[in-house]
Amino acid sequence: MTLDTVHRAGQTPGERQPYTELGMKDDEYARVREILGRRPTSSELAIYSVMWSEHCSYKSSKVHLRQFSTKAPKSEALLVGMGENAGVVDIGDGWAATFKIESHNHPSYVEPHQGAATGVGGIVRDIMSMGARPIAVMDSLRFGAADAPDTRRVLPGAVEGISSYGNCLGLPNIGGEVAFDPCYIGNPLVNALCVGLLRKDQIKLATAPGPGNKVVLFGALTGPDGIGGASVLASATFEDESQAKRPSVQVGDPFMEKLLIECCLELFAADVVVGIQDLGAAGVSCATTELAAKGTGGMDVKLDLVPLRDPTLRPEEILMSESQERMMAVVTPEDIPAFTAICNKWDIPVTVIGEVTDTGRLVMTWHGETIVDIPPGTAADEGPVYERPYHEPTGQAALNAAGPDGLPRPTDLRATLLTLLGAPNVASKEWVTSQYDRYVRGNTVLAQPADAGVLRIDEVMDGATPTNRGIALATDGNGRYAKLDPYAGAQLALAEAYRNVAMSGAVPLAVTNCLNFGSPEDPEVMWQFAEATRGLADACRTLGVPVTGGNVSFYNQTGSAAIHPTPVVGVLGVLADVRRRVRHGFPEAGARVVLLGETHAEFGGSTWADVVHGHLGGLPPAADLAAERALAAVMAEAAERGYLSGAHDLSDGGLAVALAEACLASGVGCTVSLPGEDAFTDLFSESSARAVVAVKPEHFDDFADLCARREVPCYGLGVTGGDSLVVEETLEIPIEELRHTHQATLPGIFG
């Protein structure tokens, strides 16, 4: 077996290399040769092929993602923005929160359990690498039709993977989404979010400063995990002896990750870490190039010192391995003994594999032979940037013209509500969420099925002064809306997540996103992406919330059939005192039921059109961002003043579903009358910027005055109490019937 060294590469310029099999274009390969002044070695080709991949370089999305910075609102709370492993925001009292959402879509289709589990593990390490303690996770999941064989294979495994990994780490899963649509058959979306907590003066960054500082690899041993699709060995053409088949999905070990979390926190507390990076996609290739590029520009690495689980791995395989539970740190020479002692205490393997230099070169050797000699920035930061062509999809105008106005309106609104309440997208997700531990660590204040998850934060860290400060988190997205209008669809996803955070009484502070689309090489998909990013950036500017980071997932399609464009948005908010949070739904009898916001006849992309008629057409509801901001302000002030006993936003299924879910939250019914003359529109429209709240009777006048001052429409509907949902002159349904309909669907499908 011939080792492909830098010297050999210089002597064999015409040797064929499998760059196309690794996803590189002719011009990209030519650019690598131009940078190096020779052909790359097989190890160098491995590095460039993954670092210039869509996943790592954002080469098709970067020109559009820049809007998140150029249009970003000025925010004093933003401490670390896009470009690092995760964004960081100031949440008060000297504390900072770091949060991010990322996709693990394709691995979760190939091997649902491990794909989803390692998605959780990867996002947790991103949070760790900022110097934070991970404190909670969430997930946003989308599958094909609920009763499709593909869904019955993928969903249980993915849920089990998320559950087992998060539960073993001792992290509460406080919310998220589960949605179904035939467009996701063969292309499920598994988007995982993690949030962490740290002192705002203790942020760690992915950088390698200081020539002479040591490069340390610690965590699990390196094996063949994840090499499959993106690796050098996918083509099996580097060497005839190369093993052609490697696992294409990583295998996670949550118990090792739990030790790694505690080890990292002790390393941070001991102040023995100069820079740190987790090893996720592209493994050692990514960690070394990114650390070196953001530091003093150079690094020498002895690749043969990397501890291996499989001693037969070749250099290319080591560089491409995506084995989980690994971190890379930059440590001063004098701190190496203390660093090593802490790792040994936690039974974490630790090895010095290199040294920081100021040469401007990333040099790797294998048993004394140089196999990599590149400028690290060319791999980490200077990959190709494409302005891909895009145009409105053929048939988009016809789709928008085919609105739901001609669909027959129901005559039995009671039956319509029960139909919607039992549909998979509206039905209770308890079958899924009951597999997650929502309350481990004891700081969960609200969790599923509440609109937002809420955590008390000052009891998480040792030495914290009790203040009852908290954070709220929500994720949302609607592929049907984005299919009809990706600009408005992205804004509606942000608006709903923003609104859900506001329902807890929290002040929305910052945004993360996971943008799930088909192939960027399809101009119609690229139009959807361009419109969605433009819409999201514009909405963030209007709402005054910055994008802190996120993820783009392309190529979610089967053949030429792409998924609906699915931007998923996460919003983080702050509560000064979690004891004043607003509870979910109707928690007690005797409260005044109030509808906030304006209702219009907006049914394009609605749950009613989808469930009852299988129809998708027209335009989605208008995104009224000024109204969303005013509604959030009302909720924050009302929570602070103690006016409300409960709340629930209006989204899928409109007021009818919101009232039913509010009754189900605590088993308290209500009797209401509708404010308009069209009961169907009042009950099932999905107009945005609306909520239903339970106002304490003694504060009703004060609350009405608050709404008037904030210019938020306010309609008194009725009162809470009883054991039924009663809409006068329209419908009456006992809570037990609502509960049976709502809870039976997913257990009936998945067992």
pLDDT tens-place string over residues 401-425 = 999 999 999 999 999 999 999 999 9
- Between 428 and 245, the higher pLDDT residue: 428
Rama region for 210: left / alpha / beta (φ>0; ψ in -120 to 50; rest): left
Domain contains 604: no
Distance CA 559, CA 556 (A): 10
Is 323 known to sit in a ligand binding site? yes
Q: What's the token pair of residue 304? A: 């043969």
Is 278 known to sit in a ligand binding site? yes
Is 396 known to sit in a ligand binding site? no
- Position 459 pLDDT exceeds 90: no
What is the DSSP code (8-state) at residue 584?
A: B
- Boundaries of domain holding 288: 6-59+204-380
CA nearest 44: which of 15, 68, 69, 86?
A: 15
CB 658 within 8 A of CB 688: no
pLDDT at 460: 64
pLDDT tens-place string over residues 252-301 = 889 999 999 999 999 999 999 999 999 988 899 999 999 998 887 899 99
Amino acid at the residue 642: G
Domain contains 219: yes
Is 513 known to sit in a ligand binding site? yes
Distance CA 236, CA 21 (A): 9
Is 4 known to sit in a ligand binding site? no
Q: Three-state SS for 307?
A: coil
Distance CA 221, CA 307 (A): 6
pLDDT at 232: 34
pLDDT at 86: 92
Rama region for 689: left / alpha / beta (φ>0; ψ in -120 to 50; rest): left
Interhelix angle 26-36/42-51, nearest 10 degrees: 120
pLDDT band at 159 (very low <50, low <70, confident <90, very high): very high
Return the sign of the alpha-carbon dihedral for residues 342, 348, 354, 360: negative
Give the burial string for 301-328 (b: 16+ CB within 10 Å, else e).
bbbbebebebeebbbbbbbbbbbbbbbb
Domain contains 42: yes
**Listed residues 380, 409, 432: the one ending a domain:** 380
CA nearest 591: which of 504, 695, 707, 718?
A: 695
Catalytic residues: 55, 104
Rama region for 120: left / alpha / beta (φ>0; ψ in -120 to 50; rest): alpha
- Position 310 pLDDT exceeds 70: yes
pLDDT tens-place string over residues 671-683 = 999 999 999 999 9
- Position 32 pLDDT exceeds 80: yes
Is 491 known to sit in a ligand binding site? no
Is 104 known to sit in a ligand binding site? yes
pLDDT at 226: 76
pLDDT tens-place string over residues 195-214 = 999 999 999 988 888 899 99
CATH code of residue 270: 3.90.650.10
Distance CA 227, CA 539 (A): 39
Cα angle value 661/667/673 (rounded, 5°): 60
- What burial class does residue 511 get, using C-beta atoms within 10 Å of its C-beta: 0-12 exposed, 13-18 middle, 19+ buried? buried
- Position 243 pLDDT exceeds 70: no
CA nearest 494: which of 363, 625, 315, 323?
A: 625
**Listed residues 380, 396, 418: the one ending a domain:** 380
pLDDT at 242: 36
pLDDT at 640: 96
Which H/E stretch holds residue 430?
helix 430-433
pLDDT band at 244 (very low <50, low <70, confident <90, very high): very low
- Position 222 pLDDT exceeds 80: yes
Among 15-19, 228-232, 456-460, 639-643, the minimum mean pLDDT is found in 228-232
Is 496 known to sit in a ligand binding site? no
CA nearest 102: which of 668, 439, 516, 698?
A: 516
Distance CA 510, CA 151 (A): 33
Q: What's the token pair of residue 439? A: 């309350």
Q: Three-state SS for 477?
A: coil
Distance CA 275, CA 207 (A): 5
Cis peptide leading into residue 449 (ω within 30°): yes
pLDDT at 230: 36
CA nearest 425: which of 5, 143, 46, 723?
A: 143
Is 100 known to sit in a ligand binding site? yes
Domain contains 224: yes
pLDDT at 1: 65
Residue % of the chain over a pLDDT of 90:
87
Is 743 known to sit in a ligand binding site? no
Return the sign of the alpha-carbon dihedral for residues 408, 414, 418, 420: positive
Q: Do the bridges between strand 547-553 and strand 507-516 make them parallel or antiparallel, or are there none, so unpaired?
A: parallel
pLDDT band at 463 (very low <50, low <70, confident <90, very high): low
pLDDT tens-place string over residues 39-75 = 999 999 999 999 999 989 999 999 999 999 998 887 8
Phi, psi (deg, nearest 5) at residue 65 = -65, -20
Distance CA 698, CA 228 (A): 64
Domain contains 401: no
Domain contains 90: no
Helix, strand, coil shares, percent, the chain, to 5: 40, 25, 40
pLDDT at 464: 66
- Position 457 pLDDT exceeds 50: yes
- Position 490 pLDDT exceeds 60: yes
Is 368 known to sit in a ligand binding site? no
Beta strands (DSSP E) in 415-506 are: 444-446, 453-456, 470-476
Domain contains 671: yes
**The total number of structural domains that make up the chain:** 2
- Position 229 pLDDT exceeds 80: no
Is 412 known to sit in a ligand binding site? no
Distance CA 680, CA 165 (A): 44
Distance CA 156, CA 721 (A): 37
* Distance linking the first and last C-alpha atoms of the chain: 52
pLDDT at 246: 40
**Listed residues 346, 380, 414: the one ending a domain:** 380
Mean per-residue pLDDT over the chain, rounded: 93
Give the burial string for 474-506 (b: 16+ CB within 10 Å, else e).
bbbbbbbbbbbbbbbbbbbbbbbbbbbbbbbbb
Give the total residue count for the chain: 751
pLDDT band at 245 (very low <50, low <70, confident <90, very high): very low
pLDDT at 248: 58
Amino acid at the residue 445: V
Mean pLDDT for the stretch of residues 484-493: 98
Domain contains 146: no
Distance CA 251, CA 478 (A): 31
pLDDT tens-place string over residues 547-568 = 999 999 999 998 889 999 999 9
- Position 235 pLDDT exceeds 70: no
What is the DSSP code (8-state) at residue 404?
A: G
Distance CA 375, CA 509 (A): 38
Is 550 known to sit in a ligand binding site? yes
Mean pLDDT for the stretch of residues 381-404: 95
- Position 719 pLDDT exceeds 80: yes
Is 62 known to sit in a ligand binding site? no
Edge-to-edge strand ranges of the sheet holding 87-92 = 78-80, 87-92, 95-103, 189-199, 133-143, 173-180
